Amino acid sequence: MSERPEVAVAGGATTRFGVRAATWSELVQEAGRRLFEAIPELRAEEVDSLFVGAAEPERFAFQSHVAPLAAELLGLKPRRILQRTELACASGQSAIRSAYAAIAAGLSDVAVALGVEKMNLPSMAEANTSMACVMDRPWDGAHGATAPPFFAMVAQRHMREFGTTEEALAAVSEKNHRFANSNPDAQFHAKSFSREKLRGLPLVAPPLRLGDCSSMTDGAAAVLVVRGDLARKYTSNPAWIRGTGQYSDWHNLANAGDLTDWVGLRQAGREAFRSAGIGPADLDFAELHDCFSISEIVAGEALGFCPAGQGGAYALDGKSSLGGEIVVNPRGGLLGCGHPLGATGIAQAVEVYRQFAAEVPPERQVPDPEWALVHNLSGSANVHSLMVYQRGG
């Protein structure tokens, strides 16, 4: 019957994201090295727990039982909790939420949450086939219903219902690629990523073009998650975990709901804001899961950043940019940074920490932020996972 402690992210680091000449294990080691460099006060023996977010190492790296492998690669001997969590594209955030739960439950004091994915393989056909098993494979994935066609359907429907334009999609992509230009770890640094140029790129699944789609990316990231009263030992800028929300709606595409009204995200959002005691208007910035440009548009609507159908205008009007209302994806998003499945949720938390600590370049620094939200969806936007962070006072 002890009291529940508060929990904070006390620092983090990512590897360079991209097509990397590095193995799964080398990515883990690189993230670990950077984590310990970023938090010089941290000693390996203080870490009592390790949570590894990884979506498909069994297929991408032919390696299972990855949590103890990662522990060994990081030089850790977890004595409280060691596990890997998998929730496809949201595996990284699942690892942080597990660390949060463990610390709040009194089962851990100092935890590392690490996310990693090695997606670029000698055979990209094998990699793409593996992505098909994120869906209900025999019913959906095996018949070609993978992420790009699903989100293309969402975009088509959104255009039809609300008059959303290809220009709006390009506005999201242009913004996120612009932010990525100031993120040295991003996969893409395209200096002249204009909307016109984006609209000339090849179609992947109409209306989504190459610039509307996140990439197959290699990368890893790690954060330190600690009991509140220990946070100041590691940082003067703890990012406090104030709320969380999640909802799982359906899995088989035949059971999918309204393509443009993400009910599960609305539900998760209510719980996240309720638990944090704030509303969307209190947010200074948000890391939304822009696996496709249309996702950022629909997610912003479901979270109440703007009314339904207005997500395109929100981007076109600059409301999701610096100087707008809620800055969305200052890190560069999945579009600009790439999307190494297990690493993405962790990298978003690293961005929250760095924004709060004013450690990012001015081109993407949100002025004096207090509240941030991180969103990950997985599969066909059938599961939504959220966390709300507050800057330490």
What residues act catalytically? 89, 339
Using CB under 8 A, which of the segments 26-34, 69-77, 118-126, 165-173 binds its own copies? 69-77
Q: Can you tell me whether residue 154 is helix, strand or coil?
A: helix
Using CB under 8 A, which of the segments 58-66, 176-184, 349-357, 367-375 binds its own copies? 58-66
CB count, 10 Å around CB of 368?
9
**Segment 345 to 384, residues that bind its own copies, using CB under 8 A:** 378-379, 382-383
* 85 binds its own copies, rule: CB under 8 A: yes
Least Å distance between CB 64 and its own copies?
5
Contact between 331 and 348 (Cβ < 8 Å): yes
CA-wise closest residue to 217 among 340, 309, 311, 354:
340
Least Å distance between CB 374 and its own copies?
16
Angle at 138 between CA 133 and CA 139, to 5 degrees: 105
Task: Choose between 86 and 185: whose C-beta lies nearer to its own copies.
Answer: 86
* 29 binds its own copies, rule: CB under 8 A: no
Interacting residues of 26 by C-beta distance below 8 A, sequence separation 6+ = none
CA-wise closest residue to 301 among 288, 291, 292:
288
How many residues form the binding site for its own copies (CB under 8 A)? 64
Report the first-to-last Cα separation within the chain, whole angstroms.
28
Q: Can you tell me whether residue 149 is helix, strand or coil?
A: helix
**Segment 1 to 20, residues that bind its own copies, using CB under 8 A:** 1-4
Least Å distance between CB 88 and its own copies?
4
CB count, 10 Å around CB of 164?
26
Rg (CA), the chain: 19
d(CA 33, CA 14): 10
Task: Choose between 195 and 339: whose C-beta lies nearer to its own copies.
Answer: 339
Task: Choose between 165 and 248: whose C-beta lies nearer to its own copies.
Answer: 248
Task: Choose between 194 and 255: whose C-beta lies nearer to its own copies.
Answer: 255
d(CA 135, CA 149): 12
* 47 binds its own copies, rule: CB under 8 A: no
Q: Are strands 285-287 and 327-328 parallel, antiparallel or unpaired?
A: parallel
* 82 binds its own copies, rule: CB under 8 A: yes
CA-wise closest residue to 95 among 28, 175, 160:
28
Least Å distance between CB 225 and its own copies?
13
**Segment 121 to 180, residues that bind its own copies, using CB under 8 A:** 130, 133-137
* 50 binds its own copies, rule: CB under 8 A: yes
Task: Choose between 55 and 171: whose C-beta lies nearer to its own copies.
Answer: 55
d(CA 25, CA 116): 9
Least Å distance between CB 311 and its own copies?
24
Least Å distance between CB 152 and its own copies?
19
Residues at the contact surface with its own copies, assessed by CB under 8 A: 1-4, 50, 55-56, 58-59, 62-69, 71-72, 76-88, 94, 97-98, 100-107, 130, 133-137, 244, 246-252, 255, 267, 271, 378-379, 382-383
